[in-house]
Chains A and B, each alone.
Chain A
Amino acid sequence: MRPLRAEHHIFGLQSDGGMFTYSVDRRFDETHAKNPLNIWTLQRQVPALKSFLGLWGRGRLSTDPEVASGWLGDVFLRINSGNIPSKSELQKAAFLILSLSPGSYLAKLRSNAAEFADAMTPQYRHLLSMVDLSLPPRSELIFHACHPDVYLWIPPTPERPKKLIVCFGTRKNTLNAPRPLVHFELAKADIGILYVGHRPDHDVSKGLIGRDLKSTAALLLSITKQFGFEKLYGLGTSLGGYAALHYAPLMHFERVLNYSGMPIDHEQSVPRSSDRWLSEKNFPLDRILTVLSSSDNTDRRILDFYNGKGFKTPRDWVSIPSHGSLTSSILERKFQTQLLWLIE
């Protein structure tokens, strides 16, 4: 009996209104004529996926550092032999690893934290030291590199879970930190996770590309029904938090975890005023937990805006002065408690 495996389903919206899908599920998947798209063609089309799979596969299959061939392998070989690469090389290596986030290389980065000390921001160094990297390789967010519009991840449980967290990201499509990195923490909930992506500079709170908010919500609901999910929970950071609030009544979320949810004018670091807002009439405010930083100027302005709109939900606070309140919650060891509140 071989161990159960996580399921990965990615969906891409097409300009003609159609949608392509690619799945790795519990059965032998798509590597045959049924689907013209398979992992071999997919990685040819998406070089970042090829890079990810190379790192993910090599890190998993061998402990021999020489097998980690290529430039990144060479960086670690030089570190191990005491021939420390230049700062720019270390920065490049850290950026590559953090953005793709294969677990085995995150672990290498962490175990060489001293050598990479000047190659990462203090917050990333701290975050890397806090994230639980014990997730099985097959449960990592393997297809993130494809930047799908929708990515459904299902944990390797004997039966598919009925609960699902729907995640909305920042303007840059992160969860305050690269999505595959935060996934290591989110996956501990052991329920389905649906990541809603969006194209550059597209406002996900108005719907995915080519669709308005209502038709996007209907599309997402149809996907969740197809996989048997019954209870949905929303989670979002910054612009994504604001989006989660707008999808909440349309997707019938049980609860919403809102990390500093607002559209932000990034040049001014201030909230962009919005006429579209959520009221008690649309969704019970006591089912929203808002997380803000008590010492961050942007988050203080968001709080003023919330108060002005009468948007008074239960609140949780982090103290790190950063608009990225999800990351701060991980750093302050509050994230898992917030997650438990969400899916209770």
Chain B
Amino acid sequence: MTRNPHLIPSFDGLLHLVVDSCRLNISSDEAVNKTLTGLSLDSLELMNLAIELEDRYGLELDLNDLRSDSTLGELLEKILAQINQINR
């Protein structure tokens, strides 16, 4: 795997990555509207996700202001916004 800081993932690509790397054991469609609490995604899981995204896309995510009642979809939008901002 090589870093590609210029590659911007799609929402669906990111969703599949999260479902796989966090081993959510449910379909992407089911996962996207669930809250982080509902998915048992805690900060250590998110930290691992951030590391994976850093390795793939060369970006350092900061999910400092994330709330436990956020949905996975909202998390992905937040990540995409950060990726877009870095690549702007």
Contact = CB atoms under 8 A, between A and B. Distances in A.
Interface string A41-73: 101000000000110011011101011010000
Contacts, number: 71
A43 B67 CA distance: 18
Interface stretch (B6-14, B40-48, B76-84): B40-48
Contact of B36 (A28, A39, A61): A28
B50 to A, nearest CB: 8
A276 to B, nearest CB: 41
A138 B64 contact: no
Interface in B47-88: 47-48, 51-52, 55, 62-68
Interface residues of A, number: 28
A104 interface: no
A57 B52 CA distance: 8
Contact of A30 (B43, B47, B51): B43
B10 to A, nearest CB: 21
B27 interface: no
A61 B43 contact: no
A77 B8 CA distance: 28
19 contacts: A2-B24, A24-B43, A24-B44, A27-B37, A31-B46, A31-B67, A32-B66, A38-B64, A39-B44, A39-B47, A40-B43, A43-B47, A53-B47, A53-B51, A57-B47, A57-B52, A61-B48, A61-B52, A69-B55
Interface of A: 2, 5, 24, 27-33, 38-41, 43, 53-54, 57-58, 60-62, 64, 66-67, 69, 138, 142
